[in-house]
Structure 1
C-alpha cells in the first residue's frame, strides 16, 4: 500500500503497511521501531516499523540506511523507495496518529500522556507484525522514557522475543534507521499534502517545520487563530504553544453545564474532535458528509468576535 493513499483523509488515525514478505513468515526476523513528529505543534505523529529476516541484516546495512534526521528529504525518499522495492525480504508499516488523536488523548479526564500513547502505539505495531505471521526473534526500539523500564515492559508483553531499547537506536541499528525513514517520509508527505477538513478558504500553507520554535510556524499559528473557533484540526490544541495563544488572543467561551443540557447535545459535544467540528456539526452535518450545510463561519469568514453572534 502506498503512503500517498493516506492523503485523502487527514482527520483520522490509521495504519498503512507493505505486503508481508513470505520469507518473514518462515525465518527468524528482526524488527525496528521509531517515530517522527513527536515535538511539532502541527500535524500528526507517525510511528514506523521495518522488519526483515535476521539473515538479511547485512543487505539492509548495505542500503546505507541512517537516522532520518541526518538525511535530506531527497535522500530519505530515495531510501524509502529502495526499502519498498526490497519487498521480497523487507516489510514496513506506519501508524499515523492525527493531531486530534494526540490532543484528545492528552486532555481526556483519565491521564494518558504522550509517553503512554507512544508505548501503546509501538506495542500495537509489534502485535500487528506477529498477527501477520512475522516470525519475530529480535526487536529494537528507540527509547521513550527510561530505557530499562521500557525494555522490561516490552519483554514481559512479548516473551520469547529479544528486546533491545536504546537511546539513539536509530543511529545504532540499521533496522531502526529503516523504521525512522519510513516514519519520517510518511509524516513529511502527510504534512505537505494536508487536506484541511474545514472550509477555510485560501489557507497559507507556508507553516514551516511545525515545531513551536520555528518563526514561520509561530507566525502561521498567530494568523490562523480565530478568536471564537480556535484552530483547525491540523493543530495539536493540547500543546502549550497553541493554548497560550488561545488564552491570550481568543475570546472566552462559556458552556452550559452538561447536566443542564439534553443528553444528545451533551454527547455530541463530548465526542467532537475539535471546537471547529462542533460548530460545523451543529449546523446540521458531520465530517463524513461533504455536502452538509456549514456554519457561516466556514463559508464567509465574517465571525470575528462574540459581538457578531
Structure 2
C-alpha cells in the first residue's frame, strides 16, 4: 500500500463479453473504518444475464455471511462459467492515500476521492473494450449531483445513482462482494511496513472506531513522536484526537521567527494562518538568501 492506486482486474475483465451490451455496477467497502484501505469495485455482466446473476446468490455484502461472500468471490475468480457471467475490477485506496488526500491544504474530501475511484473504474472498463450501456452506482453524497457528474463524463450511457443500489441491482451486489472480500483479506493479512508496532493479543479488530480491539490498538500503537503506523487513517477524528492528547506538541520554527504564537497541535501546519493566506509562506532560509522559484528555463 502506498500513495499510488492501481486498477486490479479479474481474468476476463478485458474485452469482456466480446462486444455484447453490458451493465456495470459500482460499490465500495471500508468507507467508515479508521484502519485499513477503502476498496472500490466495479462488476460487469451481459445485460440479458440478470437472472443468472441472481442465481449466483449475489446480494448486498452486508446481508451475506463471510462464508457465502467467500464462496461467491471464489467462483468469480476460478469458475470458468461464472467468469463469463461476471468480471470485476477494483481500486484499493490505502490509509496513507486517504489521509494525505484529506489533509491537503486544498481539501480533497472523501466524497471526491470516492467519485474519482468510481470514474477511474468506469473509464478502465471502456478502455478495455467493454460495451457498457448501463451503469448502476451506490451513491456517495447527493445522488442527483453525482449522477449529473457521471452523465456529463459518460454521455450516451444510461446511468442510475441511488441509495441501497447494492440491494436493488445484482450487478452492484457483485461489486459489493468483490470490494468487501478484498478489503477483509487485506486487513486480515496486513503486513506492517514499520517495525515494532504494538498489536494487542486479540489483534486490531475490524478497524471500525467502535470496535473494542480497534480502540485498544490505537491507544497501544501510537508513537509519541511519529504518531500512527501506515495502517491507520491519521486524518480520522478518532486518530487525530489521540495524537493531540498522546503525542509530543508540535513546534513550528516559522511561527517563532515571524513573531506569531506557537501552534501546539501536530496538525497545526495544515491550517491557514489567517483567512487571506491561501498557500504556505516561504521559509525564512529562502527569504534571507533572496532565493526564488525557477519558473522557466
Pick aligned residue for 2:176 from 155, 175, 180: 180
Is 1:14 the counterpart of 2:6 in the alignment? yes
Ranges in structure 1 where 5+ consecutive residues have no aligned partner: 1-8, 263-309
Note the 1:234-249 alignment, pairs <5 A.
234-249=231-246
Structure 1 match to 2:17: 24
- 1:50-79, Cα deviation, whole Å (9 max, x unpaired): 001102221111111010011111111101
| Bigger-Rg structure (1/2) | 2
Structure 2 match to 1:119: 115
Per mean C-alpha deviation after superposition, the further-off stretch among 85-94 and 64-73 is: 85-94
- 1:111-162, Cα deviation, whole Å (9 max, x unpaired): 1100011011101100000000000000000000111111111111101110
Alpha-carbon distance in 1 for matches of 2:193, 2:222: 16
Number of equivalenced pairs: 255
* Partners of 1:11 and 1:197 within 8 A in 2: no
Deviation of residue 110 (structure 1)?
A: 1.0
Ranges in structure 2 where 5+ consecutive residues have no aligned partner: 255-281, 287-297
Note the 1:49-88 alignment, pairs <5 A.
49-84=42-77, 85=79, 86-88=82-84
* Partners of 2:198 and 2:221 within 8 A in 1: no
Q: Give secondary structure in 2 for the equivalent of 1:171.
A: helix
Runs of 4+ in 1 over 4 A off after TM superposition: 9-12
* Partners of 2:43 and 2:171 within 8 A in 1: yes
Alpha-carbon distance in 2 for matches of 1:261, 1:59: 67
Superposed CA RMSD in Å reads 1.9
Deviation of residue 22 (structure 1)?
A: 4.6
- 1:1-42, Cα deviation, whole Å (9 max, x unpaired): xxxxxxxx5675332111326552310000100000000000
* Partners of 2:197 and 2:221 within 8 A in 1: no
Structure with more helix by fraction: 1
Structure 2 match to 1:259: 283
Q: Give secondary structure in 2 for the equivalent of 1:208.
A: coil
Is 1:38 the counterpart of 2:67 in the alignment? no
Give me the TM-score of the superposition, normalised by structure 1: 0.78
Give me the TM-score of the superposition, normalised by structure 2: 0.81
Is 1:128 the counterpart of 2:124 in the alignment? yes
Q: Give secondary structure in 2 for the equivalent of 1:165.
A: strand
